[in-house]
Amino acid sequence: MNKYRRRFLVVIGAAVVAATLPYAACAAQQIKIGIIGSGHVGSALGEVWVEAGHEVMFSSRHIEHDQALADRLGAGARAGTPREAAAFGDVVVISVPYHALPDVAEEAGDLIEGKVVIDTCNPFPSRDGEIADWAREKGAGLAAAELLPGARLVRAFNAVGAERMGSAHEEPGHIGMPIAGDDAAAVETASQLIREIGYEPVLIGGLTMGKYLMPGTPLAGERSAAEIQRIAAGLE
């Protein structure tokens, strides 16, 4: 294992006090979260964060869908445009098809600069075309950082399916969540939110390691935090 890996490969421990509290009371502090892309992933994550006590603004190209979702979730949820969500959030979650990242940057790049941004996006050549080929060659984490300059990027929620994201909190800490990021404070904030979803965050390294956080890699699928740590130790 190289020096860089030893520095970054850590398992972030579960919060013992939070585990003893009712789920809705687990938020260590209320955070405003703007979600750009309220499809399967964005809506599942946002719903659990609302239930945990955070304020969430959902946004997409379909405001009617976002408003219906916000109405269903009630207090703590609202709907807006992607630009409004970027302005609203102390933390911004981007969950769009990879080919849409340049559009996000054009529409809201000035508003996410300096903010913690959780990148859930994966590049699929069959769907995203040439930009996906480029991102896979460069590495998805580094590519996203180039497409979203100035964002304090944390790559997460890329290696697991969306189906269980809304229910992982029922068995908190049972499933690990591999993440990658270069900004320690951003990683800490993202880890808090990831833990509230029910996953145990595992930092596998900086954004250069983000290439492993996607389907088809050794880290894809649901694994314990310890197993993620073991697999990540053998990656380069």
Question: CA-CA-CA-CA torsion for 138, 142, 144, 146, nearest 10 degrees?
Answer: -90
pLDDT at 27: 56
Residues of the chain with pLDDT below 50 are 1-25
Cα gap 50→61, rounded to integer Å? 21
- CB-neighbour burial class of residue 153 (10 A; exposed 0-12, middle 13-18, buried 19+): buried
Cα gap 167→84, rounded to integer Å? 28
CATH superfamily of 3-233: NAD(P)-binding Rossmann-like Domain (3.40.50.720)
Output the six-digit token pair for 50. 């609302």
In the chain, where the domains are located? 3-233
The tens digit of pLDDT for each residue in 7-34 reads 444 333 333 333 333 344 455 689 999 9
pLDDT at 157: 94
The tens digit of pLDDT for each residue in 141-178 reads 999 999 999 999 999 999 887 777 777 776 777 889 99
Cα gap 170→52, rounded to integer Å? 12
Helices (H), the chain: 3-8, 16-19, 40-51, 63-73, 82-88, 101-112, 125-128, 130-138, 140-147, 184-197, 225-233
pLDDT at 161: 77
pLDDT at 160: 84
Mention every residue, 6+ apart, whose C-beta is less than 8 A from residue 39: 60, 95
pLDDT at 9: 42
pLDDT at 25: 41
